[in-house]
């Protein structure tokens, strides 16, 4: 299926509006979305201006005021239908993700499946927005807590998950009674428009008007800053780099707004002397090469016991040489392109720094020839060795670079693991119960996600997703993370004829 067919069947045109509030508009500059597979233009977007933003946020706030009054199970029904609408468009939307972002088709489809799964999860959640009751110390008083909708939730998403991140936030926010305003990455605006059009049809069918799912496409320096500074947006959920997250936290925090920050990862796998290397090497390959190393959960560091070092490196080199690189829509491809030429340069700069900081390249890292991949952003995945304290290793390079770091003692491995400033995902491969339990304990991994005998990638919607330190501390999906999208209220009811005060305080007669 070619690009025009994909766009047509998803309701997109050669020129599309970049603002949606129940009506499509956009009076700003034209932005062209380019495919990283060949550098060709896919379609254009009329971006949003300040005036477009004002219209969108006003309508989004109006939508919230009406939506919050709908019973939660009925809100859940709308999200159930959104999941079904996504099921119908899974193949097309997965293809668009591959075309515009560059991840292989299997991963594009998998990302859409995450959207479907979160809609199912949120639908069930709509009947489980539980509060607690507690006993009052005052006679004939009852106390309980309840949770109310928060408002318009701002969602800022990154290019590497151009559809799933929105759904992770929007589906749960919606059943909690909120509206959402989505600002997607300028690298993947067509994916956002396609998702919003699907949601628009579901809302129209259920007479949800004004629209609870709004969209604004434009530069972060303009409409992005408006969103961050807007007091009508009580919470902003932002996914992206640590630098971007610090800006979001600073601006939103200055007005005492809330944030959910899902930022960088520098994820490691400890491979111990007791590891199943066949299992570990498969997990490492997917974690490091999947999405061309452009996941926040990509595997970036391998901390391997010195006794297993040579064997593991041999296995990885053999696996890397078999990776098929090419068109992400080709079913035989295992690794597609980087998202743009700037990402290719960033990778090349990192490789140069590896050499300057005492490391060496064991495999790959080359830019693939223009005659074989005209206009594309293709590279060979890279395996490198470098000292664990090299500065480049402590930074997140959003590219398929894997660092091999040997260790002697298990405590040394954990210390190396935890010494980077990011703390998203982590894993250990071992058949030793004591090592596994220590890794999962308070003195083990300092990450928000810690796995045993499974890689760092592949989060499920049933578990809260997020990390610590410079990863931002935010959590999405799973467990009780829905509470982040609501405001807690404590209620006390006096059903007596007296007015006793707490703590036995006497005031007057």
Residue-wise pLDDT tens digits, 463-479: 999 999 999 999 999 88
With 70 as the cut, is the pLDDT of residue 509 above it?
no
| Active-site residue (options: 191, 296, 382, 447) | 296
- Average pLDDT, integer, range 8-22: 98
Distance CA 153, CA 164 (A): 16
Q: What is the mean pLDDT of residues 12-32?
A: 97
Residue 340 pLDDT exceeds 70: yes
Question: What distance in Å separates the CA atoms of residue 297 and residue 398, rounded to the nearest whole number?
Answer: 10
Point out the catalytic residue in the list 111, 187, 200, 262. Answer: 262
Mean pLDDT of 61-87: 98
Average pLDDT over residues 409-438: 98
Structure tokens, 397: 């390079």
pLDDT of 506 reads 82
For 347-371, the pLDDT digits (tens) are 999 999 999 999 999 999 999 998 8
Rg (CA), the chain: 24
User: DSSP label at 369?
Assistant: P
Confidence bin at 397 (pLDDT 50/70/90):
very high
56: exposed, middle or buried (Cβ count in 10 Å: 0-12, 13-18, 19+): buried
The pairing of beta strand 299-305 with beta strand 267-271: parallel
Cα separation, 384 vs 389, in Å, equals: 14
| Mean pLDDT across the chain | 97
- Answer yes or no: 262 catalytic: yes
The per-residue pLDDT for range 233-246, each reduced to its tens digit, is 999 999 999 999 99
Beta strands (DSSP E) in 141-203 are: 141-149, 152-156, 179-183
Question: Cα–Cα distance between 435 and 429 in angstroms, integer?
Answer: 9
Beta bridge partners of 179: 152
Is it the case that residue 508 has pLDDT exceeding 80? no
Region 280-309: what's the mean pLDDT?
98
pLDDT tens sequence across 142-157? 999 999 999 999 999 9
To the query of whether residue 377 is one of the catalytic residues in this protein, the response is no
């Amino acid at each position: 299926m070619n690009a025009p067919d994909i766009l047509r069947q998803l309701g997109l045109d050669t020129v599309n509006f970049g603002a949606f509030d129940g009506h499509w508009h956009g009076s700003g500059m034209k932005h062209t979305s380019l495919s990283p597979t060949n550098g060709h233009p896919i379609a254009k977007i009329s971006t949003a201006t300040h005036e477009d933003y004002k219209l969108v946020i006003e309508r989004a706030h109006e939508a919230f005021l009406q939506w919050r009054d709908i019973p939660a199970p009925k809100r859940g029904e709308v999200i159930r239908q959104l999941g079904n609408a996504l099921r119908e468009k899974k193949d097309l939307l997965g293809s668009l993700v591959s075309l515009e972002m560059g991840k292989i088709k299997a991963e594009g489809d998998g990302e859409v499946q995450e959207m479907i799964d979160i809609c199912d999860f949120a639908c069930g959640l709509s009947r489980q927005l539980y509060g607690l009751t507690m006993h009052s110390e005052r006679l004939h008083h009852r106390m309980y807590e309840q949770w109310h909708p928060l408002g318009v939730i701002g969602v800022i998403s990154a290019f590497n998950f151009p559809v799933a991140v929105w759904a992770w936030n929007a589906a749960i926010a919606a059943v909690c009674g909120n509206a959402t305003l989505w600002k997607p990455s300028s690298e993947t605006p067509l994916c956002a428009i396609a998702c919003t059009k699907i949601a628009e049809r579901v809302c129209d069918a259920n007479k949800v008007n004004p629209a609870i799912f709004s969209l604004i496409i434009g530069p972060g320096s303009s409409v992005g800053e408006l969103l961050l500074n807007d007091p009508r947006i009580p919470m902003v959920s932002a996914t992206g780099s640590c630098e971007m997250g610090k800006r979001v936290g600073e601006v939103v925090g200055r007005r005492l707004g809330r944030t959910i920050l899902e930022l960088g990862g520098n994820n490691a796998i400890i491979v111990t002397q007791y590891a199943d290397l066949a299992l570990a090497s498969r997990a490492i390959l997917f974690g490091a090469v999947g999405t061309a190393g452009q996941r926040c959960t990509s595997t970036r560091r391998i901390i391997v016991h010195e006794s297993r070092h040579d064997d593991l490196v041999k296995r990885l080199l053999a696996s890397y040489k078999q990776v098929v690189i090419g068109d992400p829509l080709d079913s035989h491809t295992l690794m597609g392109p980087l998202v743009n030429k700037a990402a290719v340069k960033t990778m090349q700069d990192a490789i140069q720094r590896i050499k300057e900081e005492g490391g060496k390249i064991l495999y790959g890292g080359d830019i693939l020839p223009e005659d074989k991949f005209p206009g594309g952003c293709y590279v060979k995945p890279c395996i490198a060795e470098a000292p664990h304290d090299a500065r480049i290793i402590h930074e997140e390079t959003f590219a398929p670079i894997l660092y091999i770091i040997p260790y002697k003692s298990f405590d040394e491995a954990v210390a190396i693991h935890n010494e980077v400033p990011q703390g998203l995902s982590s894993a250990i491969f071992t058949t030793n119960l004591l090592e596994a339990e220590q890794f999962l304990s308070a003195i083990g991994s300092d990450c928000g996600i810690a796995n045993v005998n499974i890689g760092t990638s592949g989060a499920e919607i049933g578990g809260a997703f997020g990390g610590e330190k410079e990863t931002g501390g935010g959590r999405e999906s799973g467990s009780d993370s829905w509470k982040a999208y609501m405001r807690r209220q404590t209620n006390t009811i006096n059903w007596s004829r007296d007015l006793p005060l707490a703590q036995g305080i006497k005031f007057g007669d």
